Amino acid sequence: MPANITPAELQDLNQFLQKSSDIFYWQCTTRTVQESKLFPVNPYIALSYYNAWYRYPEIFRKIEAVMSPEELGARAREVSMSANAIMLGIIQQFYLGGRQFLLDMGMINPTDGIEDVKYVLDFAQRVNRSYHRQSGYTLNSDMNNRAQLLPERTLQVFEADALGCKPGDKLHTAVVKFLATASQYAFLKNCECRLGIHNSGPYKVGDKEMLVRDFVDLAEGDYPWLDGVASEIEHNNITLPVIMKDTHFNIVDDWGSFEATPSYDHDNMVAVGLYTSDYLSNGYIPVHMENASDMADYLDHMRDQMQRVTAELWKRMAGWSREQMIDAGLLVYYSVPKDLAHIAGVYDTNDWMLVEERVQRMRPLFNDEYGNFAIAELVGYISLSSQQESPYTMSKWSGQSSDMWSKIPNSVLNDDNYTASVGPIRGGSSALPPKTGKYTTTRGKLTQDEANALARGFTSSTIAGNFVNYDDQWVKYNAGTPEADALYRATQENSFQLKGKGSTLRADDVAALRRW
Amino acid sequence: MSEPNILADKWGKPAMSEVLEFYHSSIRKLVAERFAASGKTWQEAVQDPALELTRADFEKIEADLLATGYRFTMSAQVSIEEEPEKYQPIAGVGNSGNQVSDENGRLVVGTGDNVFQATDLEGTARFVGTVEVVMDMLMNGVPEGTIAVIDDSGGTLTAPILEGFAGVVCMGGTIRSHLGILTREYDIPCLMAAELDGLADGDRIVVEYSKPATDAYAERDDSLRARIAKVS
C-alpha cells in the first residue's frame, strides 16, 4: 500500500525540506563558525540532531493534542521567550540533520519514517507561519533577512515608553555594559551557542530604526545546570527595544543576529526600553521603566547578578566531565522547541532534558575530530555521500551537485517500500544532575506542575476570543471601533504613555506622546 | 528494496575526511551484513530493535580505527584530558625564525583580522588556553595590561575574565565568531584568525588595533591585516 501522503502533501513537504536545506547552508557558511576550548561543541551539535530525529515526532504530537501549531505561534508572537524566530525556525533543521546522518550511515533509507517527517515538517512550518503572521512569511530569510514580527499596537508602546539616552549618560552607559554582560552570560549558559540571544526588526520609527533585543532563559528554569547558581536572576526573559539613529539594520537573519550599515555603534542609540514577558504574561511587562535613572540602576543590578552567576556557572561547568558537557550542549540544541510545551501547559523536563537511548549508543563515535568533520561536511562542505545529486544539478547557493537534506522519493506514492515512523521514544538519561529547582516565570517561581496548570488556564488578553484574528490588516479598516480600541487598550495596559489611548493613534501622535 | 540505499548510490562518493569515511563506511557494511543475515525485508529489519547497532558496535568501529595508529585532533581541553591515548598532542605556537621587522625595527610575530578599529596597544602577551589559567586569573585577577592570546574563538572558556583583558589576539575563528561579537560588545580591541610565529607567553607586544576593521565580505588581503610586533 502506498504511503499515507497525497501528491500535494509530498510536494509541500519536499519544498519546505528543500527551502530549509538551502537556507541552512547559507546561514552555516556565511554567519559564523562555532568552537570552544571548553565545550566539545560539534560532537554535541551532531548528537543533538539524532535526539531530535528520535524524539520530536512523539513530543510534538503530545503538544498538538492540546494546542494547534497555529495557536502556539499566535501565543509566542505576543511575547519574547525562547519560542522565537531562531528557535522555531531551526526545528526542522536539527531534525533533518539526524535523518541525514542516519541516511549516510545506511541505518535508514530516505523512505523511512516518512509519516514522522511529514508530521514534524508540517508542524514546524505551521508554527513558524503563525509566528511570522505579521510579515506573511515563514522565516526571516524569506523576507530578505528581516524580522518583522510585532504588530503596530506593541510597537507603539515600545516607541512611546522608551527612555531617551545619549553617549556618556547614566542610562546609555548602563545599557552598553548590560548588553555585553548579558551576551557573555547567554553564550555560557547555553554552552557556547547563541540560542539565548534573539533580535527582531528592524522597525521604522520615523527616520530611525528599532531593533528589539531579547535575552531568553536567563534564570532558574528549564536548564538543570542553572538550578541554584542562577536563583538570584529575577527575570527569565528580558527584552530591550533599542531605537537607533543613522543606522540601517540590513540583516536580521534566521538566527536572530544582525548586521548594520554603517556598522552598529552604541553611540547611535537614542532611546531604549526594558521589558520581561513569557507564556504566562499579558504581553510585555515594563521593568523599572519609571525613569532613566531607575532603569539604569536596575540594568547595573542585573549586570552585577549576571557577572556573579557567570563566574559561578563557569566554575561549575569547568568541573564537568566531557559527557556532562556534551549532554548540556546537546540538550540546549535539541530543546529548541521546548517553550511550545510550556505554552501548551504540557512541559515535562523528561521530554526535553534527557538523551534517548538510541542516541546514547552512538557516543563512542563522537571524538572531537569526528564531531568537527561530521558537522563541517554535513552543513558546510555538503560532501557526504548521501548528499550528492545528479552531476547535472546546481544547488541554489553553492552551485555544487549536492544538497544538504535529501528529499523524500516520490516512489512512496507508488508502493509500500517505506516505513512510517521511528517508533515511540525509548527511555532517556543524562549525565547531568536532574532538574530540582523551580521555574522562574512572570507569575513567580513555580514548580513544573504549577506552571503547566497556569498555562493551561491562561490566554493573554491580547489574543483572547476574536482578538487573535485581529491583525494589522483588520486594524487598517477598523481603527476606532470598540473592538479595536479594546484590543489596543489590552496591549497598552502597562504603558506609561499610551494607557487607555486606544487604536486611533497615528505615527505623529505617538511621536508627540513619547518620552524621548 | 533489498539493502540500505546508500550502498547502491549512483552519485555517491567518499566523504572528505578520513575519519568520517572510515566510520560511515564501516557502519554501512555492518548494517548490510546484519540485514542480509536477518532474512527480513528492509521494512521489517529497520524497525526491529534486535537488529539495531549497539554501543558495542560503535566502540568496535572506533577501536578499529585507533588500531591503525590513527589519533584524533582535539578541540576541547576536556577531551584530551580524559582520553589522552586517543588524541594527538597539542601543538604550540611555532617559531620559523623567518620573521620580518616592521618600520620601527621590531619583529613581527603575527597578523590578524581586526574586529573593530581602536588604537594601537602595548601590553604583555599571556596565553589563555586552559581552564587552569582562566581559574587562576578568576581567583587572583587578570594582570594589568594583559593581551590575551586565545586559541579558540568561542565565548565560554574566558567568560568570567574576558572583561579584564586589555586586548585579545585569537588564533581562530572570524570577526563574526562569538569571541569577536563579545569583544566588540565589551569594547576590547581584538584580532581574530591570528597567525602567530615566534610569539611566546610573557612577551611584550604592540598590536596594531588602529587598522580598519576587517570587511567580512572581502577576499583576504595580507596588507590589511593588523600586525603584532614584539617589543621585548
In the block, cell 581602536 appears at B118
- Count of domains in chain A? 1
A315 part of a folded domain: no
Interface of A with B in 9-38 (CB under 8 A): 31-38
The candidate with the shortest Cα–Cα distance to A307, out of B179, B186, B78, B188, is B186
Average pLDDT over residues A311-324: 97
Nearest to B14 among A35, A192, A385 (CB): A385
Q: Is residue A338, in this structure, part of any structural domain at all?
A: yes
Residue at A6: amino acid letter: T
Report the share of chain A in percent with pLDDT over 90.
96
Residue B8 has pLDDT above 70, yes or no: yes
Tens digits of residue pLDDT in A236-263? 999 999 999 999 999 999 999 898 999 8
Q: Return the half-sphere exposure (C-beta side, CA atoms, 13 A cut-off) of residue A69.
A: 21
Taking the model in full, what pTM does it have?
0.96
B219: Cβ contacts below 8 Å, ≥ 6 apart = none
Place of cell 540485514: B35
Distance CA A166, CA A289 (A): 17
**Residue A354 lies in domain:** 7-143+321-413
Domains of chain B by range and CATH?
Answer: 5-70 (no CATH), 107-230 (3.50.30.10)
CB A260 within 8 A of CB A249: yes
Is A353 part of any domain?
yes
Q: How many CB pairs under 8 A join A and B?
A: 240
Q: Could you tell me if residue A186 is inside a domain?
A: no
What's the whole-number average pLDDT of chain B? 93
pLDDT on residue A293: 98
User: Is there a contact between A295 and A274 (Cβ–Cβ < 8 Å)?
Assistant: yes
Answer yes or no: is A333 within a domain: yes
Instruction: Give the pLDDT score at B108.
Output: 96
Is A441 a residue whose pLDDT tops 70? Answer: yes
Grouping H, G, I as helix, E, B as strand and the rest as coil, residue A15 is helix
Query: Which residue among B47, B62, B135 places its CB closest to the CB of A419?
Result: B47
What does the pLDDT average to over B133-151? 96
CB B21 within 8 A of CB A386: no
Is the pLDDT score of A19 beyond 60? yes
- Give the DSSP letter string of A184-213: HHHHHHTTT-STTEEEEEEEEETTEEEEEE
In a domain, A383, yes or no: yes
- What are the pLDDT digits (tens) for B181-230? 899 989 999 999 999 999 999 999 999 999 999 988 888 888 899 999 99
Q: Is A106 helix (H, G, I), strand (E, B) or coil?
A: coil
Mean pLDDT of B81-105: 93
Measure CB to CB from residue B155 to each of A192, A369, A386 and give the nearest one. A192
Domain contains A88: yes
Residues 248-287 of A with CB under 8 A from B: 263
Q: Region A65-77: what's the mean pLDDT? A: 98
Model pLDDT, residue A33: 64
Residue A243 lies in a domain: no
Instruction: Count Cα neighbours of B193 within 13 Å in the Cβ-side half-sphere.
Output: 17
ipTM entry: 0.94
* Residue-averaged pLDDT of chain A: 96
* pLDDT higher than 60, residue A434: yes
The three cell numbers locating residue A325: 558537557
User: Containing H/E element for A92?
Assistant: helix A91-104
Contact A369 B1 (CB under 8 A): no
Residue A260, strand partner residues: A249
Instruction: Give me the pLDDT at residue B1, please.
Output: 46
User: Region A379-399: what's the mean pLDDT?
Assistant: 95
A contact test, residue of B157, B178, B181, B183 with most A CBs within 10 A = B178
- Range from A31-40, A45-54, A317-326 carrying the lowest mean pLDDT: A31-40
What residues form DSSP beta bridges with A252? A258
d(CA A331, CA A353): 6
| pLDDT score for A31 | 67
Does any CB of chain B come closer than 8 Å to the CB of residue A322?
yes
